[in-house]
Structure 1
C-alpha cells in the first residue's frame, strides 16, 4: 500500500497512473507544453482506422506533416534500395545469364557479395547516426549506391559484378536500420507498428516494381546498343537519384536536433514532449558502462535472434524461387517477371493487416501476427518440401509464401519499445538485428538455396519449416521476458511513490 498526495494506492498500475497524471498537471502548470498532447487519448472506433483521429487538432496536424515527409521519404528510399538490391535477380532471369556466360552458383555469389558489404556497414553506420545528422549521412549513402547501380550495366564478367555488388551493399547498409532508428525517434507506441510496417511494405513494392520494370525494359532490348537487362540498371539509377537528393532537404533528423524547415518551433517542442511521455531517451554517448549494460541484457540477444529467424525464413532466402520455377515450366520472360509480383502484392496486404491488428486489435502486442505468420509459413514450406503436390496448391504456396515478410516492421517496433530508455542501445540493437540476420544470409543460401538445385530446393524448404518454428518460439520467449521486465519496472516505480 502507498500514499500519494493523500490518495491511498493499493495497486501498482494505479500508482503509476496517479504519478503520470500528477506529472502532467505539473507540466501544465509550469507552461512546459507548447501544444496540447494527451498522455493516453480516449479511444474511439475511429482510431481503428487511423490512430491520429482521436488526438488533438494540433497533434493531428503535426503527425500529418510528419507522415507526409518521413513515411514518403522512408518508403521511396526503401523502394529504390530494394529495387537496387533485387534487380540482379530480375536481370539474371532476363538475359544476363546468357549474355555474360554465367554458370553454376554465380547468382548465389552475387547475392552473397552484396550481403557481405551490407553486413560490414550496418552497425558502424547506425552508431554514426547517434553522432552525425541522418539528413546528411543517409542521403549521401543513397547517392553512392545509385551511381554504382548504373555501372552494373557496363559489366562484362561475374567478377566485376561481385565487386560492384559488395560496394552497393556497403552503401545500402545505412538505409534500413538507419531509417528504422529515425522512425522510432518520432512515433509513439500506438503509432509505431503502422509506420514501421508501411515503411517495410516498400520492399515488396520494390520487388513488384522490379518485375514490372524488367518486363518493360525488356522491350528496350537493343536500343542504343544496350540489352534489356542493362536498361534495368540504367533506369534504376534515373529513378533513385532524385529521391536521394531530396533527403538532404526533407529528412528531419531526430527531435532533439531537428532543423526541419517544415516544422514550427511549437511542433518541435511537441515532438520532444511526445518522446518524453513515451520514455524514449535522448542521444547520449557510448561508454564502457553503457556497452556493458547493453551486452549483459537479454534485449540484444533475443531481438537479434528473432530477426535472424524472420529474415532467413521469409522470401525464400532472397532467391527468385518462384521465378525459377516458372522458367522451368516454360513460361515467357514477361510471365516469369510479372507473376511473382502477385506474391509481393499479397505481402503488402498482409503487412498492413499485421500493422493495424497489432496497433489496434491487439492493443500494441507485437507477437500475435508473428505467430500467425510463422504458422502459415510452416504449412506452405512443408508443402513445397513434399513438391509432388497438386499444381493449384503449389501456386497458392508460392503466391502466399512471402507473407512472412510483413512482420519485419513489428519486430523493429517491438525493439524500439523494449529499448526505449536508452537511445544508444536502441540504435545498436536495431543495427545488430539487421546485421546478424544478413550475416546468416551471407552463407545459408549457399547451402540450402543452391541455384543448381532449382527449382526444387528441397533443403531450403525443409529448413524454412524449422526456422518458422524457431521464430514462433523466440517471439513467445521475448513476450515472457518483456512481461517480467515491465513488472519489475512497475514495482520500482510504485515503490518510488511511497
Structure 2
C-alpha cells in the first residue's frame, strides 16, 4: 500500500506543465499512467453520466413534444394543464434533491442513482396509459421525485474525481447531453407520430413507450459503471491494468496496480484540497448554513436555471400558432431543435475556454450568456420585430442555456475543503432553482398567453441581469476567501518556523 502511495506522489504532479496539446484535451500533457487512468475514468463515468442525463432530459422534455403532437386535443387540455403538469414534476424534483445528495454521502452512488433511474423509466411507460390530466399530474410528480437524484448526484460524483483544469469540460460535456436529448425528443416525436394507431396507441403515447425502451438499458448500466467516490470505489475497470497479462500471470502485482489507481484518485483530490467524506456534526451543519457559499452559489444557479424559456415550448408554440405559413407536426418538432444545437456549441466553447484560455475563470462565459439572453428576450418582449430577427432570437437564446456545468464546477472549487458541504450546496443550487420554477411559470408562462409571452420575456431579461450581478459578487467573495486562506497559510508557516527556531535555540543552549 505504501508503494502505491509513493508511486502516486511521483505520477500525480501538483502543477502540470501545460503544453499546446492541453488546449485540445487536458490529459495530453500528463504522465502516461495518469493519462491511462483518466481515459478509463472518462470512458466509464463521463459516458454513463452523459447517457444518463440524456435519458433524464428525454423523459423530462417529452411532455412538451407530446402536448403539441396530439395529447392536448385527445385529453382536452385547453386551459393551463400543461403548466400544472410541469409544476407537478417540479414539485417532486424539488422535494427529493437535498435528501438524495445527503444519502449519497452515505450510500454508494452506484446503487442509489441507477435504482432511481429504473424507477423513473417504469413511470415513463405508465404515462402512455394516462387518460386524464389528473393521472398525468400524479405520474409526473413521481417521475420528478425519482429524477431528483440524478443531476445533483452525478455532479457530486464528477466533482469527486476531476481536477480544476478538467472539471468544467467534464461538467459541460455532461450537461450538453440534456440539449441533445431535447433535440432528440423533437426528432423522436416527429418519427413516432406516424406510429399512431398501431397497438391501439396514439402517436404521442408511442413517444413515452419508445423513451422507456431507450432508458431501461442505460439505467441498468449504471450499476456497473458509476465508480462511487475515490475512497470507496470498487469499480471493476480500475482493478485491471492496461497490460492485459498482468492479472493472469502476476495476481499480486495486479492488486498493487489496482491500488495505485485508487491512490492516483486520492492524490489528485488532495492536491485540489477536496476533502474526503466526514461525519455530519452540529458544527459542520452550522458552518454550512452560515457560510456565504450556499447562498451566493444557490442564487447564481437560480438565476441561470430560470433565465430561459425552458418552462414553455415558446418556439414550438409560435410555429403551431402560425397561419401563414402553416407548419406541419414534423416541422413544429424539428425547427426548435436549432436552439439546442446552439446550446451544445456554446456550452463546449464555454468549457474549453474556461478551463484553458481563461485559466479556470468561470465568470466571463456566465456574463456572455447573460448578455445574449438580455438581447434575445428584450427583442421578443417588443414582439413587433422583423420575422428573421424573431427566428434569430428563438435560436440564439440557446447560448444562455449552457452555463450549468460552469456554475457547478465553480461550486466544487469553492466548497473543496468540505465534502458534505459540497454535496449539500450542489443539491441546494439545483433544488432552489426548481423551487422558483415550480411557481414562476404559472405566473409568466401561462399557456393562454402563447405565443406572445410578454410577461415571460420581460421576466427572463431581469433574471439574466441578476445572473450577471450575482456572478461578479461570487467572484469577489471567492477572491477574498483565497486571499484569506493564503494569509492564514503564511501565518501558520511563520509560527511553525518560529517554533523550530526556538527549539534549535533551546538545544544549543542546553548543549552549551
TM-score of the aligned structures, taking structure 2 as reference length: 0.91
Aligned to 1:360: 356
CA distance in 1, matches of 2:57, 2:438: 17
1:321 is matched with 314
Q: Among residues 126, 132, 144, which one is paired with 2:101 in the alignment?
A: 126
Alignment check: 8 A CA contact 2:169 2:348 kept: yes
Q: Over residues 195-227 of structure 1, what are the superposed CA-to-partner deviations in whole Å (9 max), with x where a residue is unaligned?
A: 000000111001001000000000111111111
Q: CA deviation at 1:32?
A: 6.1
Q: How large is the RMSD of aligned CA atoms in angstroms?
A: 1.2
Q: Distance in 1 between matches of 2:3 and 2:483?
A: 29
Superposition pairs of residues 216-227 of structure 1, within 5 angstroms: 216-227=191-202
Structure 2 matches for 1:233-248, cutoff 5 A? 233-248=208-223
8 Å CA contact retained: 1:152, 1:161: yes
Residue 402 of structure 1, CA deviation: 1.8
Find the counterpart in structure 2 of residue 377 from structure 1.
373
Task: Tell me by how many angstroms 1:34 deviates.
Answer: 6.6
Matched residue, 1:213? 188
Q: Does structure 2 conserve the Cα–Cα contact (< 8 Å) formed by 1:197 and 1:355?
A: yes
> For 2:449 and 2:6, how far apart are their aligned partners in 1?
68
* Match for residue 399 of structure 1 among 388, 395, 402: 395
SS at 2:403 equivalent: helix
- Contact 2:97 / 2:149 at 8 angstroms: preserved in 1? yes
8 Å Cα contact 2:7/2:260 also seen in 1: no
Q: CA deviation at 1:30?
A: 8.3
The total of aligned residue pairs comes to 471
1:490 aligns with 2:486: yes
What is the alpha-carbon distance in structure 2 between the residues aligned to residue 341 and residue 89 of structure 1?
13
Alignment of 1:369-448 (within 5 A): 369-448=365-444
Aligned to 1:139: 114
Taking a change above 3 Å as real, the CA distance of residues 105 and 58 of structure 1, as seen in their structure-2 partners, is same
Residues 9 and 267 in structure 2, CA contact (< 8 A), matched pair in contact too: no
Q: 2:270 aligns to what? A: 276
Looking at structure 2, the residues matched to 317 and 273 of structure 1 have their Cα atoms a distance apart, in angstroms, of: 40
Mark the runs of 5 or more structure 2 residues left unpaired by the alignment: 239-257, 495-512
Cα drift, residue 265 of structure 1:
2.1
| Mapped partners of 1:73, 1:35: distance in 2 | 30
Cα deviation, 1:422-457, whole Å, max 9, x if unaligned, reads 000000000000000000000000000000000000
Q: Rg larger in 1 or in 2?
A: 2
- Match of residue 290, structure 2, among 296, 301, 308: 296
Is 1:308 aligned to residue 302 of structure 2?
yes
**Please, which of 262, 266, 271 is the counterpart of residue 260 of structure 2?**
266
* 1:6-47 deviation digits (Å, cap 9, x = unpaired): xxxxxxxxxxxxxxxxxxxxx999836376111111111111
CA distance in 1, matches of 2:404, 2:180: 15
- The separation in 2 between residues aligned to 1:94 and 1:302, in whole angstroms, is 40
CA contact (8 A) 2:293 2:415 kept: yes
Instruction: Say which of 228, 232, 237 aligns to 2:207.
Output: 232
Asked whether the 8 Å contact 1:317–1:441 carries over to 2, the reply is no
Q: For residue 494 of structure 1, report the CA deviation from its aligned partner.
A: 1.1
Counterpart-to-counterpart distance in 1, 2:162 and 2:435 = 29
Q: 1:239 to 1:460 in 2, by over 3 A?
A: same
1:47 paired residue among 16, 19, 22 = 22
Aligned partners of 1:317 and 1:449 also within 8 Å: no
Distance 1:32 1:421 in 2: 24
C-alpha distance in structure 2 between counterparts of 1:400 and 1:144, whole Å: 35
Structure 1 counterpart of 2:230, from 243, 255, 261: 255
Match of 1:66 in 2: 41
Match of 2:467 among 451, 467, 471: 471
Hey, which bits of structure 1, 4+ residues long, moved more than 2 A?
27-35
1: CA distance, partners of 2:6 / 2:296: 41
The aligned counterpart of 1:456 is: 452
The equivalent residue for 1:110 is: 85
User: CA separation of 1:112/1:100 partners in 2, compared to 1, >3 Å: closer, same or farther?
Assistant: same
1:34–1:266 CA contact under 8 A, matched in 2: no
Alpha-carbon distance in 2 for matches of 1:129, 1:485:
27
**Distance 1:152-1:29 versus aligned 2 partners, 3 A rule:** closer
2-side partners of 1:84 and 1:30: how far apart? 44
C-alpha change, 1:35 and 1:87, in structure 2 (3 Å) is farther
Inter-partner Cα distance in structure 2 for 1:265 and 1:242: 30
> d(CA) in 2 for partners of 1:29 and 1:299?
35
